[in-house]
Structure 1
Amino acid sequence: MKFFNKKVLSLFLSIGVSFGLGNGVNTVAFAATTGVATVDQAAPIGAITKVMVTFLKDSTTEKGFTWYTSRKSIASDLQVVEQTSTNPLPNFTKAINIVGSCAIPSNKTDAPTPTGTTTSKLEYLHKAEATGLKANTTYFYRVGDASLGLWSAGTFQTASTSGAFSYIDIADPQAKEYDEGLLAASTFKKALDTVPDSKFIQISGDLVDKGNVEYEWDWLFNNIGRKFLNTTIAPIAGNHDEYKGSFTDHFDLTPAAGSDISTGVYYSYNYSNAHFVMLNCNETAENGLSTGNNNLTPAQIAWLKKDITDAKAAGSKWVIVNMHKGPYSTSNHATDIDLAGSGGARKTLAPIFAKLGVDLVLQGHDHIYARSKPIKADSTAVTETLKTESFQGHNVNYVQNPGAPVYLIPGTAGPKVYYKNKSIVSDPNANGYDPKFYGLFDKADENHAAIYGAATGDLSRPERSNIQNFESITVDANKLSVISYEIDQNRNSKAPYIIDMFGIEK
């Protein structure tokens, strides 16, 4: 898309903090050209929607902002002010003013608008970036159009350079109906309520069912609620989000230099003593289908190796990889050629992760909950030495110095679920479940949604919309702790409950 008015109004406050946009530190990333944004005087002012606050390259000093408006608004105004003991409430008369950019979105949905949604045919997309922030500091912000008095406000916190922190891991909201969008949004709300001290939310792809249908993005992000405006998100694209430009339209991220951002973004950031690597598994797919390789171009793999090597050399204690199509899962996609084939992720990427010293690989795509043992470069599991320790009032088993990554499929935040895969080198003596493969897992249950029977019209899957999941992950100096939650829409008053806990200590 083509942007106008890309400039910065950088001011300095007496507190000595400066902000900027396009100042050589970051460049706002967009994917396509669809024309110049001009004011539609006949359009209603409307409301600001789909506000996303994201990490940029330096999570301690930078934030990215994305939002949508009607075509009445072409101004992209961002105001930021520090929260202090003398300024406990937002006073935007003292704010830094940043001018961002406006564009016509890549998505131009022509389908009839379902109840409660908009379409990007009637919208403009806005992005802005704040830099020069203080580490470990809370700020008030608002985005919008000052000339129209149109604003949406929230808070954000910059990353700390040390100390323990918690965050939320979530995957595959992927709603294809409005009610399913409300269901997925409720998972986000319950996760934020359950982990109130979370610093950010990682989303492992397939945010929507069809990336080019804009009202599906509305279903999810316009219904999460107020708390979503007060957190930061770190997303990756799934195969359902890969429509050219649709993922990049919704998130302001810092892509790896020279990378193709049309189908997603690969990037990394630090938070305290942890380094997060966010991969794009859409690079080599054709029309959403696998080509038989591991879904990453040679350029992305080269970047991955250098990025992790540099991070560890700079002192990162923990390395966590987030990818949509992960090497080790237990459901439908576990036998896909791009994962299980000779050039697939299990045989090509997993050994790289082990050799680079990755600690945890968070995955999506397979819509089931499962957790591997630490898996070595030769595709065998580490013999675990476990130590039980107390964490948040629970007894948690910590694997001691595993020296290999654990692979986690976190279930799904949305409606779609899969059965456990019985076709992995089928062993008749194991009732279809191959013990060699499933022996690599500490947790490999049948999908908990299976008790509700097969989906209407599709006997290959459990009934939709009954079970959702998310994780609380805490990183400390020498411990990584994971609590996995489940929501059953038919019991426990739809409140989250714990289904698994584990940790890594080194």
Structure 2
Amino acid sequence: MLSVAVTLALLLGVFTGASNFSPRALAENAEPAVKKIVPTFTGDPRTEKGFTWYTNLDSERSDLQLVKKTGRSGKKPDFKKARTFNGTSYVSSNDSGERVHKVNAKGLKADTAYFYRVGDAKRNIWSKVGTVKTAPKKNGAFTFLELTDPQAKTEDEGKLAADTFNKASATVKHYDFMTVTGDIVDNGVVEDQWDWLINNSRSVWGDTTVVPAAGNHESENDAFIDHFNLKPATINQDTTTGAYYSFNYSNTHFVVLNTNEDSEQYRDFTPDQVKWMAADIKKAKANGAKWTVVLMHKGPYTTSNHATDSDIIGQNGVRNQIAPLIGKLGVDLVIQGHDHIYARTLPINKRNEATHPTTITEWLNGEKIDYAVKPNGAIYYIPATAGPKVYKKNTDPVLGDAFYSKFARAEENHALKYGLDPSDPTRPVRGAIQNFSSVTIDKNKLSVVVYEIDRIKGTDPYIIDQFGIIK
């Protein structure tokens, strides 16, 4: 086992060593005039797209140009023929020296790739050219990339987390959008932390459509909603702590929850949000949605520190109040964050019981994958962390064998083999292990592939788990 000192030295060498900073790399990492560009689903994913970006205060215009990506346009789009959209701007809630820009593009063509740039047409200040794609008009197979909890608290850790996004994108390659289930930064009101992550992986954040869920670390001062152009589910929704919303993509209905709300009846939720979720999923199913996927930060079924938090295990907590409703509503997959460890459950039904469906074994990526056939209940999983902070497995007796019997995977954190964090010996060493996953949904099959990055061994991302559902 490597010592903690050696481990930290290796990690710092990877991300701060002089060999990484060639003149080209310095230019690539220079502060751009137009930065933190994030496309999102805003309205109908087939015909609409939202964009958010940041500039200094002098750039007041919010201009977006889109050009269809065709064989003739190649890599050099002609923006003289672009469709132009204008939006609004305001001073950042976090940084009085920065301006937030938001634009909605409507009337786009389904299943179409576009080149885009954003900026200030009057001042001729533009971002680098990015690409986005609208959702298909007809149902078909699609893949999305999932990462959670990058949560970097230093610039070096921000670069490490950004590198996880870069490696995830390079590994999965052909994905249609990216989900991020919270704690995108360590402190949501520290604007530098957003720069460290998004600007160092801007070819990922800017060249896909991002589906974010609010984490507890960006729960104040509009820190979440400032960075993402979203369409909240209800008109009068308070977005100070985050936002909840939903959308359809192909044959799947996605529900993104905000676990930063709170009430006497529901910890981490308000009655309005819970009522909306139930009505929204029922409506989607009535309209023909084949699959239902829920994204949430504070999940009911994880295996580390937060598994015994009062807002999870209390009588009005997420496990006792929200999980049974998810089972009752016929949700297929719940993707969580918050707990910085990898785990997944068996299907959990409306009585919070684990069920044992028939399984079919197939081969995917040269490895076996077990598919649960028409399971009674939702499968919950947490893809560990895309960033530096990791947790140990929770051994509190209050959980016990009955709780862990509900899990198909619930091992110790893989980072623990490299020792403990010297600043917090209750946790494994920071930065050694990161994870991400891909989810592919076809007509009757859902497949999840979970990857790991070992910074100490320095290997390419490798698969640690695969599972799926057939119905």
Measured in 1, the distance between the counterparts of 2:408 and 2:357 equals 10
Given that 1:276 and 1:320 are in contact with CA atoms closer than 8 Å, whether structure 2 keeps it comes out as yes
- Correspondence for 1:436: 402
Root-mean-square deviation over aligned CA pairs: 1.4
Q: 2:127 aligned with 1:158, yes or no?
A: no
Deviation at residue 424 of structure 1 after TM alignment: 4.4
> Sequence identity, in percent?
51
Letter of the structure 1 residue corresponding to residue 255 of structure 2: V
Tell me the alpha carbon deviations over residues 170-226 of structure 1, each in whole angstroms, 9 at most, x when there is no partner. 100000011000000000000100111111110000001111100010110010042
Deviation at residue 393 of structure 1 after TM alignment: 3.6
Q: 2:87 aligned with 1:84, yes or no?
A: no
- Correspondence for 1:269: 247
Alignment of 1:101-180 (within 5 A): 101-108=88-95, 121-152=96-127, 153-160=129-136, 161-180=138-157
TM-score, normalised on structure 2?
0.91
Given that 1:46 and 1:70 are in contact with CA atoms closer than 8 Å, whether structure 2 keeps it comes out as no
Alignment of 1:296-307 (within 5 A): 296-307=269-280
- Correspondence for 2:48: 62
- Correspondence for 1:499: 464
Measured in 2, the distance between the counterparts of 1:213 and 1:309 equals 39
Given that 1:388 and 1:395 are in contact with CA atoms closer than 8 Å, whether structure 2 keeps it comes out as yes
- Correspondence for 1:397: 370
Deviation at residue 154 of structure 1 after TM alignment: 0.5
Summarize the Cα distance change of 1:391–1:150 in structure 2 as closer, same or farther, 3 Å threshold.
same
Letter of the structure 2 residue corresponding to residue 207 of structure 1: I
Secondary structure at the residue paired with 1:198? coil
Measured in 1, the distance between the counterparts of 2:162 and 2:222 equals 23
Q: 2:382 aligned with 1:409, yes or no?
A: yes
Measured in 2, the distance between the counterparts of 1:485 and 1:123 equals 36
- Correspondence for 2:17: none
Letter of the structure 2 residue corresponding to residue 410 of structure 1: P
Measured in 2, the distance between the counterparts of 1:458 and 1:248 equals 32
- Correspondence for 1:483: 449
In the alignment, which of 208, 212, 217 is matched to residue 240 of structure 1?
217
Letter of the structure 2 residue corresponding to residue 299 of structure 1: D
Measured in 1, the distance between the counterparts of 2:276 and 2:221 equals 22
Measured in 2, the distance between the counterparts of 1:175 and 1:352 equals 33
Tell me the alpha carbon deviations over residues 17-57 of structure 1, each in whole angstroms, 9 at most, x when there is no partner. xxxxxxxxxxxxxxxxxxxxxxxxxxxx9611100000112
Given that 2:265 and 2:271 are in contact with CA atoms closer than 8 Å, whether structure 1 keeps it comes out as no
Secondary structure at the residue paired with 1:487? strand
Deviation at residue 292 of structure 1 after TM alignment: 8.8
Letter of the structure 2 residue corresponding to residue 233 of structure 1: V
Summarize the Cα distance change of 1:392–1:498 in structure 2 as closer, same or farther, 3 Å threshold.
closer
Given that 1:284 and 1:296 are in contact with CA atoms closer than 8 Å, whether structure 2 keeps it comes out as yes
Secondary structure at the residue paired with 1:230? coil
Given that 1:292 and 1:341 are in contact with CA atoms closer than 8 Å, whether structure 2 keeps it comes out as no
Given that 2:165 and 2:204 are in contact with CA atoms closer than 8 Å, whether structure 1 keeps it comes out as no
Secondary structure at the residue paired with 2:229? coil
Measured in 2, the distance between the counterparts of 1:226 and 1:299 equals 37
- Correspondence for 1:25: none
Unaligned runs of 5+ in 1: 1-44, 109-120, 286-290, 427-433
Tell me the alpha carbon deviations over residues 347-394 of structure 1, each in whole angstroms, 9 at most, x when there is no partner. 110111111110000000000000000011111111131101133443
In the alignment, which of 158, 163, 177 is matched to residue 186 of structure 1?
163
Deviation at residue 122 of structure 1 after TM alignment: 2.1
Deviation at residue 453 of structure 1 after TM alignment: 1.5
Measured in 2, the distance between the counterparts of 1:91 and 1:274 equals 35
Q: 2:261 aligned with 1:295, yes or no?
A: no
Deviation at residue 457 of structure 1 after TM alignment: 2.5
In the alignment, which of 418, 438, 445 is matched to residue 452 of structure 1?
418
Letter of the structure 2 residue corresponding to residue 274 of structure 1: T
